[in-house]
Amino acid sequence: MQAQKSINLEELSDLCTPWCLHLVGTLRIADHIAAGTNEINDLASAAECDAYALHNVLGYLVDKGIFEETGPGVFALNEVSEGLLDPSRRPDLNGIGGRMAYAWGTLPTYVRTGNSGYHELFGRPFWEDLAANPEVAESFDALMGPAGHGTPDPDFPISGGWESIKTVVDVGGGTGAMLAEILRIRPEIHGTLVDLPGTVARSGEIFQAAGVAERVTTVGQSFFDPLPTGADLYLLKKVLGNWPDQETTAILRRCAEAARPNGRIVILGGVTADDVSHKLTIDKVLLGGKTNTLSEFLVMAGDAGLEVTSAEYEPSGQFVVECRPV
């Protein structure tokens, strides 16, 4: 029997390290060092902060193996801290990064109630907070798009293949990264992007870059309102897991109404196979959302006027659920 690896509870519960990393990421300390500024007073001046306090932070991170102190108050990058030069890996307390970091402080509310405590800290629920702070919303859209998650994979399987699909509505599709890729590799398809007005307003550049702008319609609205009708396929990608069961059922009901009589709904994310274990993710803390097992989802789909026609893993490992209205 293989010996269990020793687990240090003190290290696991340490909050100093992640907060120091977020701080130096936010201040772009690695960038300043890479540009040749490496003495503590000069670093503090470049980052507009207190030299003594910054020295304490960097000294702590040196002990953790994240930077090197090559002389008193002189710092250098090593293999670990060079990772902070990559914007996609760098912790940042500005924009959505700060919201996500501070939201972990509301974890007790989520665990005690099953609901998000985000409003306790920021004064509004998550989506309302984004609507009231366009700069945070923009950074969230960037995180969800190709810059944050890479180019999405549009080649997920659907029953009967894609040949019969001529129109796709991407429900809650953000700034359109997934829809753009679907249309790019399938020139016979026209698409509609549905999301909040401020979000779809930022989709134009993505559609232009993919060369599909002439085949896209954008609709700025809530997906709790009636959706564009008559499309062949309605896509819900990473939407359902952001909501509790009641709201999930309402979204499904809107999709069923719009898809009748012959459309289909494809769900990527928010539903798992029955044997998948539960795991905590930041979206649950931010939103109080719920990922449902297939058995749980079958009940909600039925309540929404849908029947599940297939549920299977695609080659990439993603679980794909397909429904039709009844």
Average pLDDT over residues 145-162: 80
300 confidence band (pLDDT: 50, 70, 90): very high
| Helix H or strand E segment including 266 | strand 264-268
87 confidence band (pLDDT: 50, 70, 90): confident
The DSSP output letter for 226 is P
Sequence-ordered list of residues with C-beta below 8 angstroms from that of 3, at least 6 positions apart, any chain: none
The separation between CA 164 and the C-alpha centre of its own chain, rounded to angstroms, equals 31
6 pLDDT exceeds 90? no
- Give residue for tokens 């044997």: 275
| pLDDT score recorded for residue 186 | 96
221 pLDDT exceeds 90? yes
**CATH of span 149-274+286-325:** 3.40.50.150
How many whole angstroms separate alpha carbon 277 and alpha carbon 50? 46
Average pLDDT over residues 48-62: 98
Q: Under CATH, to which class is 9-85 assigned?
A: mainly alpha
Average pLDDT over residues 34-48: 97
Tell me the pTM. Answer: 0.84
Domain range annotation of the chain: 9-85, 95-147, 149-274+286-325
How many CB atoms sit inside 10 A of residue 28's CB? 18
Q: What are 104-120's pLDDT values in tens digits?
A: 999 999 999 999 999 99
| pLDDT score recorded for residue 1 | 46
144 confidence band (pLDDT: 50, 70, 90): confident
291 pLDDT exceeds 70? yes
| pLDDT score recorded for residue 148 | 63
- Radius of gyration, CA atoms only, the chain: 23
| pLDDT top residue among 29 and 87 | 29
C-alpha distance from residue 269 to each of 60, 107, 195 (Å): 39, 22, 17
Ranges 133-137, 288-292, 300-304, most confident: 300-304
| pLDDT score recorded for residue 150 | 65
List the one residue out of 107, 135, 137, 140 whose CA is nearest residue 121. 107
| pLDDT score recorded for residue 89 | 85
Average pLDDT over residues 57-80: 97
Give the mean pLDDT of the chain. Answer: 93
10 confidence band (pLDDT: 50, 70, 90): confident
